[in-house]
Every structure is written in structure tokens, then in C-alpha cells.
Structure 1
Amino acid sequence: MGLQKSGIIGHSDGGIVALRLAASHAVQPEFVIAVGAHWVLPENDPARQIYQKINLEKWRGMFGNQISVYNAENPEPDFEKLFKAATHMWLGCDEDAYPGASVKNIRCPLLVVHGDDDMLVSRQQAFELAEQVKGARLLNLPFAKHTLLEDMPERVFPFLQDFMNHITA
């Protein structure tokens, strides 16, 4: 794309991808903001049980609008393939799933954003991620769910903007 400077803001699965990219040094982002993202998912994590119950038809029922957007924006859409890859990531325990200990390799500023009422990512999970990366910041928002970017952008975006302003200052 020819960008000289860029940052990555990723929510949920996008946050996992952002963490993996920054940890691998495949890209050199100016910053990463990971919102509602796991960095590991232990076998006994309650989110794993939620992920195991999701199938393609259930996803279509819950997020049909997102699938329509995906199909419209992609020249060769294959939602079934995307869903299988996402499921593999959610339930995986290897380096193809969560970045795990490799997050310690992240060298850019990291903001970990967590909703205190997130049903997928625990407060402990968010705290531990912030502790793994030198200089990382943690934003824990009370009364916020996993969908906090959609539910309360007016509360979240000022914090994201402040974080990015401190990076470029």
C-alpha cells in the first residue's frame, strides 16, 4: 500500500491477528490497539466452550449482515472457508491460533482494551497481556461488553485518540 507509517487497531479476532503480526515483526506498526483479544486461550477457559458451540448456520443467524458485507466487499468471497479458519484459530492451541509467549516480542506501543463485562475475554486475560509487553497500557472500561466499540464509541474513541496522540508526540 506504500504507507510510511501505520498502526493496527484490531477487535476480537482482528486483535489476535494484530498481536501476531506485531510479535512476528512481519510488519512494523507504529502502534497496536488490541480490543477484546485473547493472546492465549487455555484449555479450561470458558470462552472455549462458547466457541465450540458455534457452527456456520448459527453464525449466519447471528451475523447475517456481516456476512453480506463480507460477500459484497470481496472479489472471491468464500465465507465457509473464512469460518473454518476462524474456528481453527478459536479452538487451536498452537502458533496458528494465539500468539502466546511471542507477544513479548512486540516492540511498538500496545494498548490493550477490555470491557469489564466481556463474556469472551476475562479481565485477568487482558491484564496478563498488558503485563507481557514492555510499556503496554491497559484500558479496562466498566459496564462494557465485548462489542464495546459498537456499543459505546463515544466513550472509547477519546481514549484511543489520546493513546495515538501520545505515540506521535
Structure 2
Amino acid sequence: MSGFNHQSGDWVAVGDARLYVEQAGDPHGQPLLLLHGGLGSLVDFNPILERLPSNLRLIGMDLRGHGASTLGTAPLTYRRYQDDVLAVLDHLGIARCATLGFSDGGIVGYRIAAQAPERVQALITVGAQWTLVPDSPVAGMLAGLTPQLWEEMFPGSRAVYEALNPAPDFDALVQAVVGLWTDAGPDGYPGLAVAEIAAPTLIVRGDADPLLSLEEAVALQTQIAGAHLFNVPFAGHEVHVDAPDLLMPAVQQFLRQPGKRVLEA
């Protein structure tokens, strides 16, 4: 299976933003939506695409402002991402799909599964928080991020973004994303609304993830009826990059029969 390449896709207009969407796999297969993390893009899933079942229709999109998607003028919130995703699915004529979301993409997945349950067939999240305590160390870490710090952690990421984006403004994007990460209001993290999620759910966490603690992941599992929790050793926040050999067999098994545990409950 060839990976995403930012060449074979198209844009979907949502408000004054243009969202880049690309597809791979079987065009007639069951759809699996892939949602990347903050300051990333759809190509971040390339390390695992060939390990996904070949009969799936894979849909990748760059979140608003990321990759080849423009930022637009609407405030950047998880609710805005949620509305963007649903608009893209409507444009593609997809009423219901499975979703695999990393970090911010997983947070969007929680929101959609809780608030538009008819749209989510199954949900997999990787390193995705569900709540934010404003005075926690994680909140302080997120609030303190600057474009310079990001470039130090991920050298060359700014140049890649500026080469892809039709209207690049990395400083504005980082500022908008930090605002999104630190938003404790109703348009932010789903919080206790995750208890409304009825879709089969697999929660994945790397054992060394500094953003999603084991305690938070366990608490999340107790909130979602029938949810599975996979705490992956030898991995940090990016489990799909750090430990794909451990992650993907579990993902494959879950996708083959995602509803079994819920149906038996």
C-alpha cells in the first residue's frame, strides 16, 4: 500500500478554510479515518499504513492549518476540528466510519464519538487526552510551547510545513494550537462527555508518554463502557512510530472484531 504523499489528494472548502484530504487502500472498502496530532500532518501515519488491513478505505486529512490545509479565520478549537471532520465526511458521502486518531486527532475522535455517535463505527486513540486540569504540569508544558521550542524538538518541521501549506504562517499556527491545547472550556477536551461514547473503543498509550498518564488512561477506560486499554512498553507519546510491531497486531485484531466485547457486555 502506497503512503500518503500530499500529491494525490484534493481540498474541501469549509468556511474560509481549505482542508486537504487524501485517500489510500481499497476505494470500495470500509472507511477508516486517520486524524493526526498537533503540528503534524497525514503523512505521520505512513509508518503504519501498510500494516492496516488491505480491504480498508483509508482517509487521511490535514487538520485545519496543518500540512496542506489552510487555517482560515475561525478560532481553532477541538469543536472546530470536529465540525471540519464531519464536513469532510459529508463531502465524501461517508455516513459512518471507524476512526484512528493520534493525540489531537484522538481528542477529536472522542468528541465525535460522544456527540455524533451515529458517525463512528469504532474508535482507536493513541496518546489522546480526554480532560485537562488547568494547574497540572502538562498544562504548563503545553502553555509554554513556542515556535522556537518546537523547531528545537523537531528540526526541519517548520520548513516541511512551509513547503506544503498554501498560506504558511507557522508562528500563527503554533499560537492557535497552544490556545487549543490549553482551552478548558466546552469547545475543548470532551471531559466527562466521553461516558456517552457507545462505539467500540481501543485506548492506546505509550508507557513513557509524558502527556497522557497511566492514571488518566485508566480513568478514561472506566468512563467508556467496554473500552479496551493497551499500555505499550518501550514507547512514548508516538506509539505508532516508537513501537509499531507491538501496536499494529492489537489494532488489526480490534478492527477485525471491534464490537465483540461491547456486544458481550
TM exceeds 0.5?
A: yes
More strand by share: 2
2:58 alignment counterpart: none
- Counterparts in 2 of 1:27 and 1:79: CA distance versus 1, 3 Å: farther
| Aligned position for 1:35 | 126
Post-superposition offset of 1:26 = 7.6
Q: In the alignment, is residue 2 of structure 1 matched against residue 98 of structure 2?
A: no
Q: 1:100 aligned to 188, 191, 197, which one?
A: 191
Query: Letter of the aligned partner of 2:179 in structure 1?
Result: H
Instruction: Give deviations 1:142-167, integer Å, cap 9, x for gaps.
Output: 23211221111111111111111112
Closer, same or farther: CA 88–121 of 1 in aligned 2, 3 Å: same
Larger relative CO (CA 8 A, sep 6+): 1 or 2?
A: 1
For the residues of structure 2 that align with 1:30 and 1:65, how far apart are their CA atoms?
A: 36
Greater mean alpha carbon deviation, residues 59-68 or residues 134-143: 59-68
Query: Is the partner of 1:44 in helix, strand or coil?
Result: coil
Conserved 8 A contact 1:71-1:77: yes
Equivalent residues in 2 for 1:14-29, closer than 5 Å: 14-25=105-116, 28-29=119-120
Verify the 8 A CA contact 1:12 1:35 in the aligned structure 2. yes
Structure 1: runs of 5+ lacking an equivalent: none
Q: Distance in 2 between matches of 1:168 and 1:43?
A: 35
1:45 counterpart = 2:132: no
Contact 1:89 1:98 in 2 (8 A): no
In terms of fraction of residues, the more helix-rich structure is 1
8 Å CA contact 2:117–2:199 kept in 1: the answer is no
TM-score by length of 1: 0.87
- Report the residue type matching 2:114 in the other structure: A
Measure the CA separation in 2 of the matches of 1:134 and 1:163.
16
Moved more, 136-145 or 17-26: 17-26
Q: CA deviation at 1:93?
A: 1.0
Q: Report the counterpart of residue 167 of structure 2 in structure 1.
A: 76
CA distance in 1, matches of 2:224, 2:161: 33
Equivalent residues in 2 for 1:153-168 (5 A)? Answer: 153-167=244-258
Paired with 2:157 and 2:109, the residues of 1 have a C-alpha distance of 20
Distance in 1 separating the partners of 2:99 and 2:162? 23
Moved more, 61-70 or 95-104: 61-70
**Aligned-pair distance for 1:27?**
6.6
Gapped runs of 5+ residues in structure 2? 1-91, 261-265
CA offset digits 1:59-100 (Å, max 9, x no partner): 133234444444444443443343223211221211222111
1:99 & 1:146 partners in 2: Cα distance? 20
**How many angstroms apart in 1 are the aligned matches of 2:105 and 2:160?**
16
Larger C-alpha radius of gyration, 1 or 2? 2
Instruction: Specify the alignment match of 2:176 in structure 1.
Output: 85
CA distance in 2, matches of 1:67, 1:3: 33
SS in 1 for 2:138: helix
Distance 2:112 2:170 in 1: 23
Residues 27 and 72 of structure 1: CA distance in aligned 2, closer, same or farther (over 3 Å): farther
What letter matches 2:258 in structure 1? I
C-alpha contact 1:88 1:97 (8 A) present in aligned 2: no
Q: Structure 1 stretch 41-50 or stretch 118-127: which is displaced more?
A: 41-50
Count, aligned residues: 169
